[in-house]
Chain A
Amino acid sequence: MNFKTIFKKLMAERMAFVSLIFLLILVIVAITAPYIVPHDPLKQDLTKVMLPPSAEHWLGTDELGRDIFSRLLMGTQSAIKAGLFAILIPLCIGVPMGIISGYLGGIVDDIFMRIVDGIIAIPAILLALGITGALGISLWNAMIAIGIVFTPQFARLARGQTLQVRSEPYVEAAKISGAGPIWTMVKHIIPNIAPPIVVQASFNLSYAILVEASLSFLGMGAQSPEISWGNMIQQAYSMINMNPWMIIYPGLAIMLTVLAGNFLGDGLRSALDPKVKKA
C-alpha cells in the first residue's frame, strides 16, 4: 500500500478529510498568528471592555478590552504546541525504546514493560500534574509533562507491533541474508509498525489538547500574558456573571479541535488497516 492509495482512502472518509483540512488550517494559523491577528491580543483598552461582537471586534472584547478573536487565534499556538509535544517526544523516546525492547525480548523486555505498565496505570492528568508540580509551573514545563505522559503508550504500541513483525518470514530472511539488528529495525520493522503509530498520534493530538487546556485552566500551564484556550476559559469564568458569552468561544475551539483529531484518527485507522474494507 503506497502513500497515494492511503491518501485516496482517507479522502473517502469524509469526516476524516474535513478534520485533516481543519487541523492543517489550525497549524497554519498557529504559525502565522502573530501576523494575522486583527488586533494586538495583549493590548488593553479600558474604554472598550466587554463589547459585544461587532465588525471591528468579531467576537467582542474581554474584561480588559482585549480583542477576543485575536486572543483565540493566538491561543492556537499553545494547543498545537501541546499536540506536537505529545507526538514528538513519544516518537523520539517511546518508539525507539519500544522497538528495541520488543526486538531484544527477554529480561530487558520484561523490566521495560513493567515500567511502561506502571506509568500507564497513572491517570494522564495526575502524572502531568505531578511532573509540572516538581518542575515548576510554566507552559514549557507543562508541555514537557504532556510529552512524558504520552511516551509509554507509544512504547507499548511499538513493542507490540515489533513482536508481531519480528517473526515474519521477510524479517527472518533479512536476518539470514546477514542484515544487522539496526538495519533490520530501520528497514523492516519501522515501516511496518508505522500505521498504528500514526493512528495513535492522531488521538494523542486530541488528548494532549484537552490536557493542556485543563492544566492551563488550573493555572499550571500558560501563565498570563501567555494565551491558551484553557486560561481564556478560566479568565472568562471569573466574569461569568457579567458576560457569559466569553466562555463559549475558547471552549468551542477546544472541542472542535479535539473532535477533528478523533475523526482523523478514526479515518486513518480504517484507511491504514488493510482488513477494514469500505462497505
Chain B
Amino acid sequence: MFLKFLLRRLLYVVPMLIITTMIVFSFILLIPGDPVLSLLGENATPEKIEQLRAQLGLDKPILIQYLDWLKNAIQGDLGRSIFTGQYVHEAVFSRLAVTFQLVVAAMLFAVVGGMFFAITSIYFPNSWIDYVARFFGTLGSAIPNFWLAMLLVLLFSLKFDWLPATGFVSITDNPVGFIKSIILPAFSLGMVGIAQITRHLRSSLMETMGADYVRTAFSKGVTRWQAIMRHGLQNAMLPVVTTIGILFGNMLGATVVIETIFAIPGMGQLAVNSILQRDFTMLQGVVLIMIVIVIIINFIVDIVYAILDPRIEY
C-alpha cells in the first residue's frame, strides 16, 4: 500500500521536474539578440564563438535543443562554464556540501527557535515571553535577511569580535571553527523560519489548548505542560512539517544573498558570481540543481507528512 502511495507521489514529481527543467532551459530564450554574441561580449575570438554555438546547439529546433540538453543533464553533464571552461556539474557539486551545511544549520535555528518561542508563549500566555514571541513572529518575516546579517556582523564581529564576519569552515575539517563560522549566517538565514514556525505553531497550539478534549484532560488533573506536550504538539507537528518544506526552498534561494555577504563558497555565491560574469551555462546549471533539490526535499516532506498524519490513507 505504502509503495503504491510512493509511486503515486512520484508520478506527480516527474511532470514537475520536466516543467522546471523546461523553465530553466528556456532562460536562454530570454537573452536579447544573438545569445552567443551577447554572452561572450564584443571581443570574443571566432573559435570561442563557434565552440559556444556548438555547445548550445542553437542551430537546431528548440525542442531538439531542449531534449539534447536534458539528456546530457540527466547523465550529469551540464556543459562547461563559459567563463572558466570548468565543468558545470563539478563546480556545483563541489559547493553542494557547503550550502547543505548552511541550510541545515539555519533550519535547526528555525525549528528550535520556533518551537521554543511557540511553546513558551503558550505556556506563559500574556507574559513578556509571549509578547517577545509574537513580536518575533511578526517582525521576523519582514526583516531583510541581508540587513539582519549586517547588523549581526556589526555587533558580534566588529564590536565584540566574538564571531568571524566572513568565511566558512567545514564541519569535517574543524567542528569548533564550523560552529563559530556558521552561527551568524545560519541565524540570518533562519530568522524567517523562526518567525514562521513560531506563528504557525503558536496559533495551532492555541487552537488545541481550547479544544474540548484538552479541557477534559485538564479536569482530570493533567498539568498545562503535559497538555502542551502530549496533545498540543501532536496536533501541531503537521503544519510545522509543511512549513519546513516551504522554508527549505526559501532558504536555499536566500543562500544567494547570505553566502555573498559572508563570503561562503556555496551554490548561492556561485549563482551570483555566474550572473555577474555573464556565465550563462553555469547559472543554468546551479539554478537547475537547486530546483531539483527543492523538489526532492518537498517530495520527502510529503512522504513524512503522510506517515505522520493517520488520517491520510495510502
Interface residues of A (CB under 8 A from B): 114-115, 117-119, 121-127, 129-137, 206, 210, 213-214, 217-220, 233, 237, 240-241, 244, 247, 250-251, 254-255, 258-259, 262
Contact = CB atoms under 8 A, between A and B. Distances in A.
Nearest to B146: A217
A131 B32 CA distance: 12
Main secondary structure of the interface of A (DSSP, over half): helix
A276 to B, nearest CB: 14
B276 A219 contact: yes
B153 interface: yes
Nearest to B38: A136
A233 to B, nearest CB: 6
B274 interface: yes
A132 B249 contact: no
A134 B29 CA distance: 8
Interface in B245-296: 249-250, 252-254, 256-257, 260-261, 271-272, 274-276, 280, 283-284, 287, 290-291, 294-295
Contact of B257 (A127, A214, A258): A214
* Interface magnitude class on chain B: 35 or more
Chain B contact residues, majority secondary structure: helix
A27 to B, nearest CB: 19
Interface in B53-67: none
A174 to B, nearest CB: 35
Contacts of A258: 141-142, 144
Contacts of B24: 130
A108 B38 CA distance: 36
Given A114-B19, A122-B294, 8 more contacts: A118-B15, A123-B249, A123-B252, A133-B27, A133-B275, A136-B38, A218-B260, A220-B272
Given A118-B20, A255-B144, A130 B31 contact: no
Given A123-B253, A219-B276, A237-B150, A255 B27 contact: no
B302 to A, nearest CB: 12
A129 B142 contact: no
Contacts, number: 144
A255 B143 contact: yes
A36 B148 CA distance: 30
Contacts of A137: 275-276
Q: Which of B31, B153, B154 has the most CB of A within 10 A?
A: B154
13 contacts: A117-B19, A118-B18, A121-B294, A126-B256, A126-B290, A130-B24, A132-B275, A136-B32, A240-B153, A241-B158, A251-B150, A255-B139, A255-B147
Contacts of B38: 136
A240 B150 contact: yes
B63 to A, nearest CB: 16
Contacts of A117: 16, 19
Contacts of A244: 154, 158
B271 A126 contact: yes
B147 A251 contact: yes
Contact of A133 (B138, B146, B280, B290): B280
A115 B18 CA distance: 9
Given A114-B16, A206-B142, A134 B257 contact: no
